[in-house]
Structure 1
Amino acid sequence: HLYYLVPPDAIGMGINMDLNNVYFSNIKKFDGKKIRRLKISEIGQISGRAGRYLNDGSFGITGDCDEINPEEIEFLENHNFPEIQNIFWRNSNLDFKNKETLLKSLDEKPNKDWLRRVGECKDGKVLKYFLKENNNDIENNSNILKILWECCQIPDFVKKTYGHHLEVVDKVFNFLTGEERKIPNYYMKKQLSMLDKLDGNVDSISNRISNVRTWSYVANKSNWVENQDYWVERTKNLEDKLSDRLHDELTKTFIDKRASVLAKGLKQDIELKTQILEEEKVLINDQYIGILKGLKLHLDLKVDALDADIKSLKKAARQNVGPEIINRIQQIMDTGLIELKDDFKIYWRSDPIAKLTAGSDYLNPKIDLIIDEMIENNERNNLNDYLNKWIIKKIETELNSLIELKNIKEENPELRALAYRLYENNGVIKRSFISEYLKKINQNDRKKLRKLGVKFGRYHVFLFKLFKPSSVSLRILLWKNYNNNFLNLSPPTFGLNFLNDMRSANKDFMLLCGFEKFDDIYVRIDILERLFLLIFNSEKDDKKEVKVVPEMLNLLGCSKENFKKLLKKMDYKIYEKEKEYFIKYLPAKKKISNRQDKKDYSNNPFNVLHQLNLK
């Protein structure tokens, strides 16, 4: 069984993996120029990871990998590699008399057959650049030339942009040949501060390490920087910190330890240790696999995860997290500690376990479980049955008058039609919308509806029992769920009967919530009816004038100024008499037509108040 899949480059970057066996799937590589077979020394470097220095390891091939011949195997096992036939050589005895002698001595050829002159190196190339292209800027002085050669030998660890390396060499050289003869603290601080970052991928972190190594080399050169001891320590610490970060990133990129641990445990039928930590994080054998939200496990699937690894992860989750989810289902059914929230979801603790969807009507929603696919149908059905009974009981408790209205059985079709219109509008409807029905039902019919909780008000017909906060929340939520409308709107704050400056509010939604609109003011309709009763009971003789009493303001819960504002919008005139306020109903006059129509006083609020059943 394969536990790790690692490319040769990652092996070469020094990851300390706990391996006892190494198998090659290929012994060819692209070396930057061409695809070639690995050298025996390279095979030895990789296979040598097996067991490291702690255990006896083994190596081999797998799949369609080319054979490693017996002779090579013997070499590898005995650490016996081919002898080196040639040694690369370059003259180290350079002549710094002048620029010409320096370049000539650098190009000198070896005097032994077994020595091979090395090709042009980076430091020689950089030296020729400065001596030939910047000829006028560099003195023909042996001391200056020695400093230049030392600067040209600064390693190009980054190896990406040649121009950047030339800038580094040029800057260091100018500092060392300037007045101070050293690289100042401020410059070192600036260079390292730009590299002191831990974010990014393997490539960006490796690039930072390469740049830090350049400045580490500079800091370690004798008399090159101010406060040398400090900068030596600073560059070392920064390189260590970035290297640790690179190690973590390489491990995440090249080695899927989680998949190997889980696969090994499943294959060997080992009992895996499951932990559910704070914030519902799930660990199996100390490997993070995802988050358990309610009854659904959100697996931590990596973008580049192999199908086999995903299967191992899901199998481990099914065996080890499945029982926990089943236990949670039982807890839910035993305790009933669940709640329905405004997003149409049923929550257990702080996580959703089901969602309401539209059913046959708004009082009969459907329930879709939010549950992991690993759970079998038996447990699903048990939970679904429980939640359906729970929501039905909740609706029956809070909205029983709506249910009775919906199920009314009467021979009078007008009464049934009126009841259905009221049910259809969530228990609140304006009188003007059902005026034709109201004309066709008698007092006996109204009595039947009143027994069901129906209130016949000045402006509205409504079910007064549905104005409790819990009832309003539930009926509005169910109505929105069924009609898929007003989804971003919520009922006004409970306890407020008078809402001012509500010009932008949706009047249709506010009516569903039980509020009547007066321009930019909304008043709860059951409170509005009680206000009319107060006005009616306060009527003074036959003058139709009414004294404003504190009970009116207390009922609405508004200021005197806002009360005056409301009364004006309701066509009442307000006047002061003997330091007290009085109101009189004075509806706006209509234009007189040439026809002598019979006057209709049915809209007079006092006429309606006389019709109210106050007994």
Structure 2
Amino acid sequence: MRIVTKSHFDSRIRAVLGPTNTGKTHLAIERMCGHASGAIGFPLRLLAREVYDKVCRIKGEAQCALITGEERIEPPSARYFLCTAEAMPRNGGGKAFVALDEAQIGADRERGHIFTDRLLHARGRDETMLLGSATLEPMVRQLVPRAEIEERPRFSVLTHAGSAKLSRLPPRSAIVAFSVEQVYQVAELLRRFRGGAAVVMGALSPQTRNAQVELFQSGEVDYIVATDAIGMGLNLDVHHVAFAALTKYDGVRQRRLYPAEMAQIAGRAGRHQTDGTFGTLSGNRRGAPLELTEDEVYAIENHHFAPVTKLFWREPDPRFDSLDTLIGDLEAHPRTEGLTRAPEAIDLSVLKRLAEQDDIARDISGAGQVRRFWEACQLPDFRQQGADAHARFVARLWRDLRGGHIGADFVAARISELGNTSGDIDTLQGRLAAIRSWAYICQRPDWVLARDEMAERARAAEAKLSDALHGRLRERFVNRRTSVLMKGMGKDAGLLRVELQDDGQVTVEGEPIGHLEGFRFVVDAEAPSEERKLMLAAAEKHMAGLLAAKAQKLVSDELGELRIHRGQVLRGDQPVATLERGKSPSRPRLVMAKELGQMDPAHRDRLQGALDHWLEGQLAPLAPLRALEDAATDPEAGTEVRALLLTLADRNGTTRREDAGLAHVPKEKRPFLRRLGVNIGSLDVFVPALLKPAPRKLLRDLGLDRRPVNEGMEAVIEGGKHPPAGYRRAGKQAIRIDMAEKLFRAAHERRARTPQSKDIRGFPVDLALATSMGLLPENFRSLMKDAGFRPGQVEELTEGFYGPPRPVLWTWRAPRKDFAPSRSKHRGSQRADVKKGPKRASKGQNQRGPRRPAEPKGDGGAAFAGLADLLGKS
């Protein structure tokens, strides 16, 4: 036995340790690409392929090689090698940089001795990097004392989220199971209730795995169901990891996962700076509820685990004098502290079984034959059939290898048989496992005649089977229609592509959900019962628009372009229908012209329905007005609020404050009004949504508002003597009432922020906002006066002084008792002004504003306010 603890080269050895999502692998890729050559060993073929693709994008395919048991891509000019740990050179192959990923697998019963050997012997000429869990630190210090140990923290926070039912799992979740049966069971439930899931298992080929991952990454499905293979470096956009089980079979017994194993899997949640959560899947009917203990949760969240105290070892360089000598070396005990003999792996089990068979063992003599036989026994058990069944397969293989090479015709026939893409998921998975065995066999340098051609055939067969398996998995575990409908129930429902086909079929993102019979939606008759509610819900969300589109098309085909004018529906200048008062002003009833009433009854009813739906679409801008009318009948409103709502509805969403009866509206009802979009301003009570051009024009066309309408509904317009609907007079101009309220609110906020003293009784008002609206200064003062604001006089500069004049200070007094501003933060200052009254003016104060007597309490306040106005004018 030979243990190497020092490199043959004077190279730097770094051990980069830490939990998942610390960027260890990314760091190794960057370091390797900075050297002239390099090699990295990975625990999985899938991970090696993923990193190979990344390095190819950086360095180009001509400089990159991928070497695994089943696949070998090695251009002549390759300088960067991405390998599985078993396939990487034991001593580093003379590369400038060498790295071993997931080095803590040295403690694994089946493959641990491979990783231990690479940890001890694989060295780069200039730099060596050992990547793994922090639990490996004691063994690195003991076995590789020259290594510089660097610990890296996790980029994101991992938090325990408890237990949740499958139906309550958040989107972007990964569910981890430890048997194929449980993976299928969970995926089937997700297909039924959540539209489906991607499926990832270690037995899948890289092509199938990548296709399934793309289903999840693209957002076509929001869930992924996987085995613990997901814990080995697969970078997914996972926010939550749920354990469907906490026990697994480790090849010897069924046992509970170790906390470090749980953390390796849970750490897939939250990539880079995005935090993640983990928990368990509840609702398990078998046995006790699935729960993590407090100690396990603490260990996972804080990345504190029991250190690795031993690594498995097996003689990496056995003697091949005889089978007995080979077996003896492979079963030898290590003589280095910290290493322990590896349990009997399947390759050694197969070797011992076949060595006991006389018809095989008696013909194996000489070091060359023994070595070749041992290489055959090392064929991986891709089919996972156990030592006995795998030994029979190796024995059949050895009979062909014993005499030399396996014939190309025989290999081609086997590959052709396995390339059949018919069958179910289990059948295809069995064929994929078998083809992986033949891909491994074809990669050996001296096993198969026409090796390159046979290897290419094996890869092609694997690709075909992978595509077929992906299709079967998608067909069984993804219901795209349910997935689309589930997304439609969320916040992005408005983004879904809902279409009405020419034949009346209704589709969501291309998936049919039903059809229209006239203007009635009928659910797809072939849909299962669990989908029917989703389809009806989706139809309810989008059907109004679809019916309007159908009505528009039907009306256009029958009558051409229509418009509403003065209570009529016109085609050009010809009346098609009259709009009569319906249940409410905003719901007029359409009566077709007499000429159209002479049509065939069936055709007339069809056209009447189309016109009704067309009208409903045209009336959409009046939805806020309809909300007022509906709320007036709501018992929650109460008598006082109902009166205000009826007034607003009758006046098309605007009324003067003195006509609103606000004194009778309880304060606790104000939130109810706000939810309806009602704004209680200083001078007006109004609904801002009804001050837009579309509803104002529609109100005029329906004949509900006889006042003139300003088509553009600009903030300020000229001519304030008879302002249009929705405007308030402002001197010789008119301002939209919501814009006027914006000016009043800005002045009140400035008043509330300005401290008062015996020398300063007033507050400045910024004219910039009014000027930006287009309101002239003299018209601004006229408007502000209506709301109780009074400007002081401009103070002239003393002779000999230059500069801008002092700002004009304004004062405010409510025009009437009921006109207090709606904002509560202004009420206190209003009461203070009323109670205190003006104090003696300081020197120069008379130039800024008139003195006013205090407003007395009681109902006489309005009269004294009028007197104050007269005094201000004198």
**TM-score (structure 2 length as normaliser):** 0.33
**TM-score (structure 1 length as normaliser):** 0.45
Which has the greater radius of gyration? 1
